[in-house]
Amino acid sequence: MDLRVLGGMTAHEGGLPVSPSAAMPRQVLALLAASADRIVPTCAIAEELWPRGAPSDAERAMESHVHQLRSDIGTVLRAAGSERSAEDALVWVPGGYRLDTGGGTSDARSFERMAGAGYRALESGNLELGGKWLREALGLWTAAPFTGVAQGPHLRSQSAHLTGSWQRAVDRWIETDFRLGRWRALCTDLARVLTRFHSAAPLYAELKADLEHCGQDPEVIRRYLRRRRGAPAFSARWVVPGGEGYRSARGERLRCLSAAHGVPRMHRI
């Protein structure tokens, strides 16, 4: 089974989608996919589905959701001509369930593996290879994690972890490619990456806005690196639309546009 969670959550078996129509079975599938091939305790599933407290019939309701999910998986397995049964794919173990991918892929695991290869290459001094791995890892993202799925506390935690990993990969990639002098290609690639997804941190929203207004301008990357070095103060100062920091950001973009069109830059008084 091939799993994608770095955007809209999807599961495919033999190229065919496993698509639970009901919200809770889909949420259970997302939680199991987030920990693919590992046991997810039943108590974690209950906390995910009913964060304010499980109802009196929670055990029966959970079994119903799992049964529906197994039924959907079984239908796809038969259509794909797989020798596996639904019970082989969604395994009950004492105290929990495990989604067995049967050797399938997971974009989250691929991202972590590729980003890890990038970090190791950077540590060994191979900037070209490190930047390549990080760029390819970020290319796996299509939107926010688990888009389209209701998120309880466990999925939110998984989403936050993945987003943190995305931020680290973006930061190292920008540093690396800028050091290599690839700022033109970096601006183009970065605009594409941030259009698909960027975290809620103001730093990335400002970078995306700068790229949209200034295009291939090395000063966009320099400003981002300066802001990131002072990220805590930056976040507090720039986040409020219409505030002083926001006007400063807008002024920088306007100066960027003026320079691009040959208009003399205005000096602040």
Strand partners for 41: 96
Work out the average pLDDT over 29-33: 98
**Structure-model confidence comparison of residues 259 and 202, the more confident one:** 202
The region of weakest confidence among 33-42, 131-140, 207-216 is: 207-216
Work out the average pLDDT over 246-254: 48
Q: Give the model's confidence band at 71: pLDDT under 50 very low, under 70 low, under 90 confident, else very high.
A: very high
Q: Spell out the residues 6+ positions from residue 157 whose beta carbon is closer than 8 angstroms to its own.
A: none
Q: How far is CA 210 from CA 75, 133, 164, 180, 269, in A?
A: 48, 25, 22, 21, 23
Work out the average pLDDT over 186-193: 94
Q: Report which residue type is found at 41.
A: P
149-162 pLDDT tens trace: 999 999 999 999 99
Element (H, E) at 92: strand 90-93
In percent, how much of the chain has pLDDT > 70? 86
Residue owning tokens 């599938």: 29
Residues 12, 75: contact at Cβ < 8 Å?
A: no
d(CA 265, CA 146): 44
229: pLDDT strictly greater than 90? no
Instruction: Select from 63, 65, 57 the least CA-distant residue to 28.
Output: 65
d(CA 161, CA 143): 15
d(CA 29, CA 90): 10
Residue owning tokens 């970065």: 190
261: pLDDT strictly greater than 60? no
Residues 6, 158: contact at Cβ < 8 Å?
A: no
Q: Give the model's confidence band at 198: pLDDT under 50 very low, under 70 low, under 90 confident, else very high.
A: confident
What is the model's pLDDT at position 255? 54
**Structural domain 2-99, CATH architecture:** Orthogonal Bundle (1.10)
Instruction: Give the residue extent of every domain in the chain.
Output: 2-99, 200-269
CA 74 to chain centre: 29
